[in-house]
Amino acid sequence: MSEGATVSESAFIEVDRVEKVFDVRRRTGFLRRELRRVRAVDSISFTVARGEMVGYIGPNGAGKSTTIKMLTGILTPSGGRLRVAGIDPSRERTRLAHRIGVVFGQRTTLWWDLPLIDSYRLMHRMYRIPDGRYRENLDRLVELLDLSALLEVPVRQLSLGQRMRGDIAAALLHDPEVLYLDEPTIGLDVVSKGRVREFLRELNTERGTTVLLTTHDLQDIEQLCSRVMVIDHGRLVYDGALAGLHEAGESERTLVVDLARELPPVDVGEAARVVKVDGPRQWLAFPAAASAAPLVARIAAEYPLVDLSVREPDIEAVIAKMLYSTGDAPQVPSDREASRETVVPAPGNS
Ligand SMILES: Nc1ncnc2c1ncn2[C@@H]1O[C@H](COP(=O)(O)OP(=O)(O)O)[C@@H](O)[C@H]1O
Ligand SMILES: [Mg+2]
């Protein structure tokens, strides 16, 4: 891998003040058009080390897919500097295509009318994968993603979860060092999500594949990524440990206490505040970073405490709060783009 020799392992993906501006022409009336500039990605900087698995999250329209598209070379940045494995993606898209894999959850790289195996055969040739390696990778992926019964089935007949597993295999046949996943679990049922997550975890730990994962589903992040980046209105508003999000979002834990009988709200001063009372049960919110022990001790000393439990903060609420504090309301996923669109994979003449 001579071309990789100069690439820093700690900055395998390098994004330096990258911007993407779209000029959108909108019809506003008869013969009237308005030019609107959309700053989809606004001076973003980060690096990803080889072997890292990073979550990339944010509300709809925040700029996640645009970032991924620039990292694959599909889109050219309007400003800033971008390198993946030492390659400038938009200038050498074809060369980069041999080193990266991409999965767009809302599209497919598979040929809709062909049996799954035919898509793989086409990729074998398109990516010029050596025969031995192709067969070895195919066998492994078919086993890990449980695809053997599906290989002869036309893609159009696959369920969403089956198709997603098929797409993930397609993205990995050529042994890419980096895998970008844009909403890979969107629309999947719980069981399919679990399988995809389990596979990604194995891929990352056993093969050291660098993974950048965009998702609406915070459980994906909680189960897979120790590092998370939050993007909002094209700007990176958080980059760090998942645990740190709680602090950044000033999140709270909840102490649930069962008292011997129905009582007025427990008073423990500044330490916590009662947020709900239901018969003898009361819910107290306290800072996530604080220890619950003194709080529990105090309640036990002053009230007839029967039972208790502590609830961890909901990460979804933490992020919502964080976005509110930067002046933006979080959104519910609504961008169901056409899921039947087929995109032809990259190495061609682009
Ligand atoms: N090809 C395009 N032309 C014009 N505007 C676009 C284009 N692609 C994305 N946008 C706009 O850029 C912003 C970011 O979009 P996107 O990266 O798809 O967000 P996300 O993936 O986080 O939901 C949105 O306002 C979107 O409408
Ligand atoms: Mg998107």
**Can you say whether the dihedral through the CA atoms of 146, 148, 151, 153 is positive or negative?**
negative
Tell me which residue range forms the domain holding 190.
2-246
* pLDDT tens-place string over residues 89-115: 999 999 999 999 999 988 899 999 999
Residue 159 shares a structural domain with residue 266:
no
User: How many angstroms is it from 229 CA to the middle of ligand 1?
Assistant: 18
Compute the distance between CA of residue 32 and CA of residue 131 in angstroms, rounded to an integer. 57
Compute the distance between CA of residue 12 and CA of residue 210 in angstroms, rounded to an integer. 9
Paired with 44 in beta bridges are: 18
The average confidence (pLDDT) of the chain is 87
Paired with 257 in beta bridges are: 282, 308
Residue 117 shares a structural domain with residue 192:
yes
pLDDT at 151 over 60: yes
The residue whose two tokens read 């959850």 is 105
User: How many angstroms is it from 75 CA to the middle of ligand 1?
Assistant: 11
User: How many angstroms is it from 247 CA to the middle of ligand 1?
Assistant: 30
pLDDT at 249 over 70: no
Is 318 a member of any domain?
Answer: no
* pLDDT tens-place string over residues 294-327: 999 999 999 999 999 998 776 667 777 777 665 5
Q: At 24, which helix (H) or strand (E)?
A: strand 13-29
Angle at which helix 160-172 crosses helix 116-126, to 10 degrees, equals 20
Domain end call among 223, 246, 269:
246
Domain end call among 227, 246, 265:
246
* pLDDT tens-place string over residues 262-303: 999 999 998 999 999 999 999 999 988 789 999 999 999 999
Residue 240 shares a structural domain with residue 266:
no
Nearest CA residue ID for atom 27, ligand 1: 61
Residue 231 shares a structural domain with residue 273:
no
Contact (CB, 8 A) for 155 and 108: yes
Closest approach atom of ligand 1 to CA 63 = 17
Is 344 a member of any domain?
Answer: no
Q: How many CB atoms lie within 10 A of CB 40?
A: 22
> Which residues does a 6 A CB cutoff place in the pocket of ligand 1?
22, 24, 38, 40, 58, 60-66, 335
Is 347 a member of any domain?
Answer: no
The DSSP 8-state label assigned to residue 349 in this structure reads -
Pocket test for ligand 1, best of 19, 20, 21, 22 (most atoms within 8 A of CB): 22
Ligand whose nearest atom lies closest to the CA of 64:
1
Nearest CA residue ID for atom 6, ligand 1: 22
Residue 235 shares a structural domain with residue 129:
yes
Q: Where are the alpha helices (DSSP H) in the chain?
A: 64-72, 93-97, 116-126, 131-144, 160-172, 190-207, 218-224, 242-248, 293-302, 315-325
In order of 40, 42, 58, 198, the CA distances from 235 in angstroms are 9, 5, 10, 30
User: How many angstroms is it from 182 CA to the middle of ligand 2?
Assistant: 7
Domain count across the chain = 2
Domain end call among 218, 246, 274:
246
Is 79 a member of any domain?
Answer: yes
Residue 201 shares a structural domain with residue 86:
yes
Higher-confidence residue of 79 and 61: namely 79
**pLDDT number for residue 288:** 80
Ligand whose nearest atom lies closest to the CA of 41:
1
**Which amino acid is residue 248, in one-letter code?**
A
